[in-house]
Structure 1
Amino acid sequence: MTASANLLSVVIPNHNYGRFVGAAIASLDAQTHRPIEVIVVDDASTDDSVAQIEQALAGAKNLAGTKFLALAENVGKLGALNRALEHVKGHYFIILDSDDVLKPEYVERTIVELEKARTEDPSIAFLYTDCMLINAAGEELDRGKSAAWDPALLERYSFVPEPALCLAAPVLEAAPYDEAIRKGTKHHKWKKIVANGWNGRHLAEPLFCYRMHDANLSGIGKRVTAEVESGIGGERILSGYWPLQTTER
């Protein structure tokens, strides 16, 4: 496979996560896989996000390319994604939420496992993993688990996480995404991709860190933090925490 055919495009939508976004970008710079291009879209943040993004991108040494789009008006996560897609050049694609981080081997492992799965079933376009739940300071809380791939289950639950690794072509094919949807955005994206005939595969290993804090869009952070503080520990099935697609804010 040529370098260009092995290129991963990562879109990072960001809104007021200036305290976290630098770590997300650094986790891409630390990946064992190369080349990686990063497209950051700041969705009209009112904190110090722009300065933090510019600093993190300037400090990245291993990225094949970077693009920074600073939006003047807030358009939501799917709006940010729609605006980023015209800049995507990679064969592979990831959306990395700006408060999460990938373990260094994440991209390399998921590409290997995706290509292996595609030799068995060419309709498999994306591969997703379990995660470690971390707090705002980056300390591990518990393991977050997804479910084995079942397209019928996707009608009732949101269980495929960002940052699942996907072939870029199916993501582009399913665009544009409905910008009226502000919660359950990943559920909307995966449903559109699957509706076009694509399938996924689950790798039951915690290869990324999903940050729990009081500003998680889905509300999962407040819920998990409260559970941990009350002594409820152990693995969590994430489909019980993530909302389905909705236009509610």
Structure 2
Amino acid sequence: MDDLTNDALLSVVIPNHNYGEFIGAAIASIDAQTYGPIELIVVDDVSTDDSVKVIEKALAAADQLLSARLIVLEQNVGKLGALNRALEHVTGRYFIILDSDDVLLPDYAARTIAELERARADDETIAFLYTDCMLISRTGEELDRGKSTGWDKALLERYSFVPEPATCLAAPVLEAAPFDEAIRKGTKHHKWKKIVANGWNGRHLAEPLFCYRMHQGNLSGIGKRVIDEVDRGERGERILSGYWPLQSTDR
């Protein structure tokens, strides 16, 4: 790990609900980052599977993190509710929220933080940097590449195209909080819209630096669509804004 001061601390939040099958890999991918220091905050949102045991085992095995915390909620509050509760413990300059069924490549944090700071040298309104991804199956096999759209502030009103994860300065996230816990679909769209409404902008890095897992339980519904398309032989890059829903209170 790099010997860096806490001015470079990265806070990673992983909300989880019944993804015990996947969250161990998500935590391991944070521990495997080439960047440091990292504080990890995992919030379990009243899982009824073996998630808590899996999380505890994965955190015990993680030996490269500056700190790790597990918050076990007693009432289901949804992804944004879990995020709101995690933000009380965020102390880093940088921030990533990672869905508990996804995986970061080892150089994700190092690359995105370097590119974010490079972009901010030209434009201090840039607060977050997002990348493309590889779409993977439930068991981790590569399916296709998922592509995000280049940054367009006006387009964010009509499409959800900034992924979870993206690397952000923590201050704009904390400034935009709390997030609306009634939003249960399009949660990332809601989060980015609130941040951008405060005058911040993003930047796109067209490289696949994380793995986005496709399965029937994806909250956005993307997993079922992509799996059905692959089964029909429809292969190729996918523009993710065509798959992700806008913010909604629908469940």
Q: TM-score range by the shorter chain?
A: over 0.9
1:17 aligns with 19
SS for the counterpart of 2:244 is coil
- Per-residue displacement from partner, 1:152-194 (whole Å, max 9, x unpaired)? 0000000000110000000000000000000000000000000
Match runs of 1:50-129 below 5 Å:
50-129=52-131
Provide the rounded CA distance (Å) in 2 between the counterparts of 1:3 and 1:127. 22
Provide the rounded CA distance (Å) in 2 between the counterparts of 1:109 and 1:83. 28
TM-score by length of structure 1 reads 0.99
- Per-residue displacement from partner, 1:101-160 (whole Å, max 9, x unpaired)? 000000000000000000010000000000000000000000000000000000000000
2:6 aligns with 4
Provide the rounded CA distance (Å) in 2 between the counterparts of 1:154 and 1:197. 13
2:246 aligns with 244
1:214 aligns with 216
Provide the rounded CA distance (Å) in 1 between the counterparts of 2:77 and 2:245. 19
Provide the rounded CA distance (Å) in 2 between the counterparts of 1:221 and 1:148. 23
1:143 to 139, 142, 145: 145
Match runs of 1:160-199 below 5 Å:
160-199=162-201
2:51 aligns with 49
Aligned-pair identity (%): 77
- Per-residue displacement from partner, 1:212-237 (whole Å, max 9, x unpaired)? 00100000001100000110000000
Q: Aligned partner of 1:71: which letter? A: L
Provide the rounded CA distance (Å) in 2 between the counterparts of 1:159 and 1:231. 25
Provide the rounded CA distance (Å) in 1 between the counterparts of 2:61 and 2:216. 28
Q: Gaps (5+ residues) in structure 2?
A: none
2:28 aligns with 26
2:235 aligns with 233
- Per-residue displacement from partner, 1:49-76 (whole Å, max 9, x unpaired)? 0000000000001000011000111100
TM-score by length of structure 2 reads 0.98
Shift of 1:24: 0.2
Aligned residues between the structures: 249
Shift of 1:2: 5.2
